[in-house]
Each structure stands twice: as structure tokens, then as C-alpha cells.
Amino acid sequence: MWKTTVFLVTWVMLAAGPPTEGSKVPGNKGPEGKMTTYQGKLRHPVYAIGGETTGTIIETPAGTYELDLGGKKELQTLARSLNEKPVVVTGVLRVVKGVEIPERRIITVRELRADRKK
């Protein structure tokens, strides 16, 4: 079971491709190194080969992003309660090189909330 989960998460992250502007809420500056807002479906927890994941992702129309919750218990608790639900995430995007996943897009989360519009 866990091997299937690891494979699926890895496949989703590799299939996401490079960052695009499509995931941003209109009116925000864009993406890498600037505060940006993203809308999508939250998944928490997730697992990847070699532990190469933050453990939380958001799936947007523009692709999949990892979320860095900064070890904050309140954000982790909120992520667990919002698993598989539409969310709005505000944070700063950074792109880092990975081992199994060549390019990881990670959002350092400032705010996480349910998307009431969906």
C-alpha cells in the first residue's frame, strides 16, 4: 500500500511541470520569491521516495506545489482537518533542486484557510 502511495505522489509531482502563472489569484505579484496566493486541493500527509517531501501538497490547475508549514503545530492541525478539501494558501514560493525529483516547488506558508467559494 505505501509503495503505491509513494509512486502516485512522486508521479503527480513530476507530472506537474515547471511553475506557471495560472495558479495565482489575480492581482498578486508573481511567483518565485514573492508573497503569492494559490488555490487548490490540499493533501496532507503525503510521502515520497527517500522522504523528499514536506509532507503537504496543494494541487492547483497550474500544477502541484509542496507546502512548508514551518513546523507550526496550528498549521499542521489545520492541514489535517482540510485534507482533500479546497484551500487558499498564501506564502513565498521557492524552487529547490531535489534528488529523485529534479525540481521541487515549495511554498513557505504564511496563511492556510479553507476555500469557501468552492
Residue 39 in grid coordinates: 488555490
Cα angle 74, 78, 84; round to 5: 155
Going from the C-alpha of 86 to that of each of 28, 103, 116, the distances in angstroms are 19, 25, 8
Per DSSP, what are the bridge partners of residue 114?
87
CA–CA distance, 107 with 101 (Å, rounded to integer): 16
Domains of the chain: 2-114 (2.40.50)
Going from the C-alpha of 113 to that of each of 28, 39, 93, 104, the distances in angstroms are 17, 10, 17, 23
pTM, two decimals, is 0.73
Q: What is the pLDDT of residues 66-113, one digit of tens each?
A: 999 999 999 999 999 999 999 999 999 999 998 888 999 999 999 999
Q: What is the pLDDT of residues 17-75, one digit of tens each?
A: 444 433 443 333 346 889 999 999 999 999 988 889 999 999 999 999 999 999 999 99
- φ/ψ of 10, rounded to 5, equals -60, -45
